[in-house]
Amino acid sequence: MKFLDEAKVYLKAGDGGDGVVAFRREKYIEFGGPDGGNGGRGGNVFAEAVEGLNTLIDYRYSQHFKARKGGNGAGSDRTGAASEDVVLKVPVGTVILADDKETVLADLTRPGQREILCRGGDGGHGNAHFKTSTNRAPRRADKGYPGEERWVWLRLKLIADAGLVGLPNAGKSTFLAASSAARPKIADYPFTTLHPQLGVVRLSATEEFVLADIPGLIEGAHEGAGLGDRFLGHIERCAVLLHLIDGTQADPAEAYRTVRAELEGYGGGLSEKPEIVALNKLDAMTPQARTSRIKALTRVLGREPLLISGATGAGVPEALRALQDTIRKARKE
């Protein structure tokens, strides 16, 4: 299934049904009177978060959603039928924005959560509504009120406890595969990951968390370079970030500063999140290179980074334990 994390759709709630002008005419009843009923309510448009979905691909080719008009009133003071609501099924974690892409209309973070996006119009009054002691035969009936309509943006932000960040080819997909049952594409060239991946990490029978891997960042990503920063929204909800640095490159400190600059340029609170830094590809470094790169990172961080190898699994359990401890602390807060 193709991954799609953003879609624009048009929504139109149903108009209210019309009221009617009608009079009671029955044999053997001396006095009749107005008995035109009111129109029915137009259908609303809702968005509902459901489990089992992880993409907005359903809204790639179906972009217009309209609820039906309410039924018209009828004689004998009968109210028109209310129209059925239209419900958009979206993945958990979907944010619904107005057409300006800034105003948040709904943030669906729980399965079953439902929010109204467009309200259906009320039905118009029939002439029975207007009868009074001085106006016994009103011939007035109102049209139904129009339903709301708008363009909205659906933007998916994956629900994950921890997120992986780093430059392309830092070994994020390998780490995800080594720590969970996820099977992301792994190759020896940059930008192997083209869309976010999720994996469930189980440390014990009672300890587990969701780890998200996003495409690598390069310098200028927040200005659109490479794949840009559009996927950073998927780690906005994470409690902690695991920053992986390729140990085989000559200047790991500069790699760290590059990614940090992109997180700060993006905003969204990513640069303030708890961060665990790990020097990856331990198996591919000589002892001398390992020592020099640890010293370079320590000067930048003010502490020693973790040493791991996603390929061999060395140091991976310690990194996962550090993530779990940080997540537990964040949940308590």
pLDDT digits (tens, 9 = 90+) for 108-121: 989 999 999 999 99
Q: Which one is predicted more confidently, 281 or 28?
A: 281
Per-residue model confidence (pLDDT) at position 189: 45
Q: Which one is predicted more confidently, 228 or 77?
A: 77
Per-residue model confidence (pLDDT) at position 49: 92
Pick the CATH number of 162-332 from 3.40.50.300, 3.40.50.720, 1.20.58.220, 3.30.70.270: 3.40.50.300
169 marked among binding-site residues = yes
Domain formed by 6-156, architecture = Distorted Sandwich (2.70)
SS3 at position 240: strand
The domain ranges of the chain are 6-156, 162-332
Q: What are phi and psi of 221, to 5 degrees?
A: -60, -40
310 marked among binding-site residues = yes
Identity of the residue numbered 37:
G
167 marked among binding-site residues = yes
194 marked among binding-site residues = yes
Spatial separation of the C-alpha atoms in residues 157 and 47, rounded to whole Å: 15
Per-residue model confidence (pLDDT) at position 216: 64
281 marked among binding-site residues = yes
Assign 244 a pLDDT band (cuts: 50, 70, 90). confident
215 marked among binding-site residues = yes
214 marked among binding-site residues = yes
209 marked among binding-site residues = no
pLDDT digits (tens, 9 = 90+) for 172-195: 888 888 887 656 555 554 555 556
43 marked among binding-site residues = no
Assign 48 a pLDDT band (cuts: 50, 70, 90). very high
pLDDT digits (tens, 9 = 90+) for 124-183: 999 999 998 888 889 899 999 999 999 999 988 877 788 888 888 777 888 888 887 656
Identity of the residue numbered 150:
R
125 marked among binding-site residues = no
15 marked among binding-site residues = no
CATH fold match for the domains 6-156 and 162-332: no
191 marked among binding-site residues = yes
199 marked among binding-site residues = no
SS3 at position 129: helix
Q: Which residues of 242-276 are buried (b: 16+ CB within 10 A; e: fewer)?
A: bbbbbbeeeebbebbebbbbbbebbeeebeebebb
156 marked among binding-site residues = no
130 marked among binding-site residues = no
213 marked among binding-site residues = yes
